[in-house]
Amino acid sequence: MRKTVLKKLILVALLSMVVPATGFAADTIKVGVAGPHTGDLAPYGIPTKEAAEMVAAQVNAAGGVLGMQVEVMPMDDQCKPEIATNAATKLVSQGVDVVIGHVCSGATKAALGIYKEANIIAVSPSATNPPLTQSGDYPNFYRTIAPDDDQGKLAAEFATNKLGAKKIAILHDKGDYGKGFADFSKHFVEAGGKAEVVLFEGVTPGAMDYSAVIQKVRREGADAVIFGGYHPEASKLIGQMNKKRMKIPFIGPDGVKGDGFLEIAGKDAEGVYATGPMDVSSLPVNQKAKADYIEKYGKEPGTFFDQGYAAMQVILKAIEASGGTEYAGLEKALKGNFVDTAVGRIKFDAKGDAEGVGFSVFQVQDGKFVELK
């Protein structure tokens, strides 16, 4: 008898600790924003978080969505799969309605199963790995950025057709994103048959310098470099290429095409090509987002800010259009309605890729990325 009472007491005590964690829904719309907010990849996660918070603040100031306030729940995953699953289960157990994220493709893969199980839609601003949508494994996944294979094709065609390169060196940062882009570029260069890939090699991010690799590119007699990776490595490479007096075209992916690259590479950036989401800086929505950001933080927004901003916009619009956060309704709204966002007027196709976003080639001219028509 006494024992059962004791057990009950323990149960009650344990339960009382747990209840606050589970929380109650309905009065707010909970948007989880998952990505790397600490650690070395934090620069790719924080802009999305800031974008989501800014959109939420604006919407809330204007009375919220469907009369409900939007609550942003940032969740750090450090781009690590095991922490991403923790973050995902935490969001699910806190009764999140939709998720913006994750940022890295690897972490996204790890987390998506959990969201799928819980019938939660995830919109990633940056996970460009093609199978995420194309495999059909993750029907709850959407992204406001185009997949990598489009970009690789564009870069390869640009190098061979427009620049007339015959010998192409392809470098990558060994990461999921950079290596993926490099693989697709290689595939399309070889498929095009107009040029050969003379060097295909990974460099180590965080290595002190890349001069040895650059000498290798020179020795192979490459007349163009395609690089898969992010802007810190790209600017390091381009800076050292200039130091080594090597002047051949350099083409990077959208991880390079951003103000971050211009800031870090400085005048070395001149003449660099990069593929990237079509120029949207003339869109009023985008201009306003940027202006708001600069006003609030006093600096240019970081990588994937536009995409994060757009992800938040489409998801809130979809909630408004479907009148709630039900999975089926949201799915219909996301795939059915065009929305004006910071990356343009978009809706999603059957697989979850955004229609209306695409890539074009840019070149740095006078310290700015200019779209090449």
Tell which positions 93-152 bind other proteins, by CB under 8 A: 93-94, 104-106, 109-110, 113-114, 117-118, 129, 137
- Residues 153-192 within binding reach of other proteins (CB under 8 A): 174-176, 179-180
- Residues 297-316 within binding reach of other proteins (CB under 8 A): 298-300, 302
Is residue 196 near other proteins by the rule CB under 8 A? no
Neighbouring residues of 225: CB distance < 8 A, sequence distance ≥ 6: 168, 169, 170, 171, 217, 237, 241, 248, 249, 250, 251
Is residue 339 near other proteins by the rule CB under 8 A? no
- Residues 33-62 within binding reach of other proteins (CB under 8 A): 37-40, 42-43, 46
Is residue 244 near other proteins by the rule CB under 8 A? yes
Helix axes 327-336, 305-322, angle to 10 degrees: 120
Please, what is the minimum distance in Å from the beta carbon of residue 84 to other proteins? 8
Is residue 218 near other proteins by the rule CB under 8 A? yes
Greatest CA span in the chain, whole angstroms? 87
Is residue 86 near other proteins by the rule CB under 8 A? yes
Residue 118 or residue 198: which is nearer to other proteins going by CB?
A: 118
- Identify whether the C-beta of residue 220 lies closer than 8 Å to the C-beta of residue 248: no
Which of 31, 51, 79, 121 binds other proteins (CB under 8 A)? It is 79
345/350 Cα distance (integer angstroms):
17
- Amino acid 301 reads P
Closest CA to 125 of 338, 313, 253, 292: 313
Using only C-alpha atoms, the chain has a radius of gyration, in whole angstroms, of 22
Window of 190-198, 215-223, 315-323, 333-341 that interacts with other proteins by CB under 8 A? 215-223
Which of 58, 60, 69, 85 binds other proteins (CB under 8 A)? It is 85
Handedness of CA 92, 98, 102, 106 (dihedral sign): positive
Which of 63, 136, 206, 271 binds other proteins (CB under 8 A)? It is 206
The kind and range of the H/E element at 147 are: none
Which 3-state string (H, E, C) describes 241-281?
HHHCCCCCCEEECCCCCCHHHHHHHHHHHCCCEEEEECCCC
Closest CA to 299 of 262, 329, 267: 262
Which of 28, 55, 56, 80 binds other proteins (CB under 8 A)? It is 80
Please, what is the minimum distance in Å from the beta carbon of residue 214 to other proteins? 8
Which of 139, 192, 202, 356 binds other proteins (CB under 8 A)? It is 202
Please, what is the minimum distance in Å from the beta carbon of residue 3 to other proteins? 10
**Size of site (CB under 8 A) for other proteins:** 81
Residue 229 or residue 344: which is nearer to other proteins going by CB?
A: 229
- Residues 249-278 within binding reach of other proteins (CB under 8 A): 260, 263-266, 268
75/331 Cα distance (integer angstroms):
23
Neighbouring residues of 353: CB distance < 8 A, sequence distance ≥ 6: 133, 142, 143, 146, 147
Residue 162 or residue 243: which is nearer to other proteins going by CB?
A: 243
348/357 Cα distance (integer angstroms):
10
Residue 158 or residue 250: which is nearer to other proteins going by CB?
A: 250
- Amino acid 246 reads M
Is residue 30 near other proteins by the rule CB under 8 A? no
Is residue 326 near other proteins by the rule CB under 8 A? no
370/129 Cα distance (integer angstroms):
26
Residue 180 or residue 277: which is nearer to other proteins going by CB?
A: 180
Please, what is the minimum distance in Å from the beta carbon of residue 197 to other proteins? 15
Residue 108 or residue 322: which is nearer to other proteins going by CB?
A: 108
